[in-house]
Amino acid sequence: MKKSICLYFQVHQPNRLRLYRFFDIGKDSHYYDDFANRTILRRVAQKCYLPMNALLLELIEANKGAFKVAFSISGSVLEQFDRYAPEVIESFRKLAQTGSVEFLSETYYHSLASLASPIEFKNQVLKHKAAIEHYFGVTPKAFRNTELIYSDAIGEMVYDMGFKTMLTEGARHVLGWKSPNFIYTCAQAPSLKLLLKNSSLSDDIAFRFSDRGWSDWPLTGEKYLSWIKAAAQNDEIVNLFMDYETFGEHQKAASGIFDFMRALPEIVIKDGEFEFVTPTQAAKKHRPVGDLDVMDPISWADEERDVTAWLGNELQNDAFNKLNDQAEKLALLNDEALWSDFGHLQESDHFYYMCTKFFSDGAVHKYFNPYDTPYEAFINYMNVLSDFILRVDDAISVSDVNFAPAKVKAPAKKTAKKTAKKAAPKAAAKKAEPKAKKPAAKKTAKK
């Protein structure tokens, strides 16, 4: 039996917030930087989505379906495609029609709902499933959580929703001596099969490909296949998971990234030792070798491979908890606009911008951040959130329902002490209002 290569791409663009001042609270409830969102989406579409989709279609047809890939496409970016670049949706439809491309399920808003609320998590997954069926005419069978976030408890929730396959990170602190190049199962739901990212081989393409200071530059298809063979000498499957924006956006076309991708499938297929599979095909083909115990959530972000990129400081936890405090009140309202804003404010990117890491991953966080500092990100977000809370409370006050606030907060992995006294949006806005400049955001980093 041939060994397998599973190639998976994440597609997401956040709804970036406009500069929202303290004095806008209660007066202007349009939160999004439409100009930046349109400009960035159109740019990435021209540099990445359209040319790469065309290349993948060409490769699938040239190799008569032997080349296969998988995508997860967030609901947030699907909305932007619909609004700013409908031709991208059409190009994904053509890929769906080949039968060689699998579309995965995820949270609609690329959110951290799995860390906050099982109910909200399930609602977003169902909403995303419906969107994929609507746009591409296929029903997702495998699941990939935001940023590959996973734990035993999350795996159990995913299995209870009917999924039998899930993707996550091959985190070294979880694997120990084990190899990521096998299929594993969830410790709490043994029927859920887990595909683990091979971080080293994935990052050779996603991060190191164009680095001329890299000792292995330039990377060729033949060289890369030799590394895959060495990594899986005694193993069964190599999972290559990365941002789709790697192609043409993070790694520019001039680096040769498209030429590399054009050559790789034929090199692999002609060699004959490996075959390309989708996640669902991989789960059917390979037997799991054991359970994977993951008590605390892991992800594919930063050196730690945990969730501290989004919930690692008091600012992030304060914003996260205040937002999720609104869930119970919203459940009493049938207000489409409020629910939509609630979803977009959950996008993990907003919390990522507040990260204060300045060591191993600080440069990456700064590079993908539209704000000058994480404190500006926090102030801007909390100003928006303050207006959103006012709208929710006003809607409750004029409705026929009675609301008694709950005593239990939406849980996060790490719950920090409240920072209201030193970082409340009103006080903070008076001391340090962010500069009124138009952010030139790049897509959230994932590693």
Catalytic positions, written as ranges? 147
Single out the residue of 374, 360, 371 nearest to residue 436, CA to CA: 371
Find the DSSP H helices in 336-373: 336-345, 348-352, 362-367
Single out the residue of 410, 189, 173 nearest to residue 296, CA to CA: 173
Preceding peptide of 180 cis, ω within 30°: no
Please say whether the beta carbons of 291 and 184 come within 8 A.
yes
Q: Is 286 helix (H, G, I), strand (E, B) or coil?
A: coil
Task: List % helix, strand, coil for the chain (3-state, nearest 5).
Answer: 50, 15, 40
CA distance 311 to 376: 17
Let me know how long the chain is: 447
Single out the residue of 85, 88, 78 nearest to residue 15, CA to CA: 78
CA 387 centroid distance within chain: 27
Q: Where do the DSSP E strands lie in 86-206? A: 101-103, 142-144, 165-169, 183-186, 193-197
